[in-house]
Amino acid sequence: FSAVFALLEDTWPEDVWYFLLDILRVHLSGPKFKWGVRLIHLGMHLTFSPDGIELGITANRRAKYMAYIDMFLARDPPYGAMSRSEAAELGGRLAWTSNALFGRCGRAYLVPILRRATNSQSWPRLNGRLRGALQWWRRWLASPPDVLTRRVLAAPRVQELPPCITYSDASTDFGVGGVLLCPATREAWFFRDPRGEEPIDRLEVEAALVTEATFAGIATARGYDEEITFIENNVSLAWLTSGWAFREDVDPLLEELWLNLARRKALKWWERVSSASNLADLPSRGHPPVLPSAWSLTEIQAVVVPVPHGM
């Protein structure tokens, strides 16, 4: 099971869990099965029951990781510091935890930690990117216990839904807009939200963040855990997929977006779309999108995202 994650980095964790569950299904329901069997490996508890499998980070290990991160951030003020060996240990544990719980969502924030572990020329002091990565993991570890747990039910899976589709866009003439399409029911939602004068690259990232925050609850409630997201700005697309912009006014937005994805264990694919094909183009200019008559269209209020500054 561990080898699957090591060799197939693009494997969606849910698929691996269902594969494991299919192998164990006959044993989970057998008369000699011991209910509540619980294993602990590298700070993760794996619990087997006739209802399925549950994996989560133990409370003790979560507190330990948070204490480590707090210690690294507080060293050598105001910079913070972390040695190569400390980075190697923390990075390895976080990699195992994130792979098992939410897949690739947080891997952008593993990279600075692993680079510190492998760079023999690095100073112990934290650079801006490494400090931001540690703060991102600190916030994720502080999430409610349910967020840090994955459950796979033994009941047969229902027919899988196709990915939902979202569009986001921004314009300096009005503000930001977004559209959500749920193909299975041909339902669509959109929002349009005015903004002040901001650089268009940052505004595009803000549009993507507001789109994620506004539509996440709707998509999850309808059973969608995979999503294809279209954006037309090349620079913003590069920032969104990498998780970093190296700009103090943009990086907090990216961190917030990826934190939300990790918490709800969603798989989002980013793709570029032309302006003419972007359904969010009109909402970003203050107008409703144009959809075929077979689709229902509902306007909703954009979610206000409180983004922490100075991270």
pLDDT digits (tens, 9 = 90+) for 226-238: 899 999 999 999 9
Q: Please indicate, yes or no, whether residues 25 and 151 belong to a single structural domain of this protein.
A: yes
pLDDT at 4 over 50: no
Give per-residue pLDDT as tens, 5-43. 444 444 455 555 566 666 555 555 555 445 556 677 667
Q: Please indicate, yes or no, whether residues 4 and 146 belong to a single structural domain of this protein.
A: yes
Q: Which of 139, 157, 175 is the last residue of a domain?
A: 157
Q: Please indicate, yes or no, whether residues 200 and 243 belong to a single structural domain of this protein.
A: yes
Q: Please indicate, yes or no, whether residues 203 and 280 belong to a single structural domain of this protein.
A: yes
CATH number at residue 278: 3.30.420.10
Q: Please indicate, yes or no, whether residues 88 and 187 belong to a single structural domain of this protein.
A: no
Q: Which of 113, 132, 157 is the last residue of a domain?
A: 157
Q: Please indicate, yes or no, whether residues 230 and 269 belong to a single structural domain of this protein.
A: yes
Structural domain harbouring 177:
164-299
In a domain? residue 150 = yes
Note the pLDDT of residue 185: 92
Number of compact structural domains in the chain: 2
In a domain? residue 311 = no
Mean pLDDT, the chain, rounded, equals 84
| Cα–Cα dist 228/210, whole Å | 16
Q: Which of 133, 157, 181 is the last residue of a domain?
A: 157
Q: Please indicate, yes or no, whether residues 107 and 213 belong to a single structural domain of this protein.
A: no
In a domain? residue 304 = no
Q: What DSSP string describes the chain?
A: -HHHHHH-TT--HHHHHHHHHHHHHHHHTSTT--TTEEEEETTEEEEEETTEEEEEE-HHHHHHHHHHHHHHHHSTTTT-B--HHHHHHHHHHHHHHHHHHTGGGGGGGTHHHHHHHH-TT--SB--HHHHHHHHHHHHHHTS-GGGGEEEEESSPPPPPPPPEEEEEEE-TTSEEEEEEEETTTTEEEEEEEE--S--HHHHHHHHHHHHHHHHHHHHHHTT--EEEEEE--HHHHHHHHHS--S-TTTHHHHHHHHHHHHHHT-EEEEEE--GGG-TTTTGGGTS-----TTSEEEE-PPPP-------
Give per-residue pLDDT as tens, 54-70. 888 989 999 999 999 99
What global pTM score does this model have?
0.81
Tokens of 307: 């983004």
Percent of the chain, pLDDT > 70?
A: 82
pLDDT band at residue 174 using 50, 70 and 90 as cut-offs? very high
In a domain? residue 307 = no
In a domain? residue 115 = yes
Q: Please indicate, yes or no, whether residues 245 and 136 belong to a single structural domain of this protein.
A: no
Reference 299, options 309, 291, 308, 289; nearest CA is 289
pLDDT at 202 over 50: yes
Q: Please indicate, yes or no, whether residues 204 and 133 belong to a single structural domain of this protein.
A: no
Averaged over 96-120, what is the pLDDT?
A: 81
In a domain? residue 84 = yes
Q: Please indicate, yes or no, whether residues 98 and 38 belong to a single structural domain of this protein.
A: yes
Q: Please indicate, yes or no, whether residues 153 and 171 belong to a single structural domain of this protein.
A: no
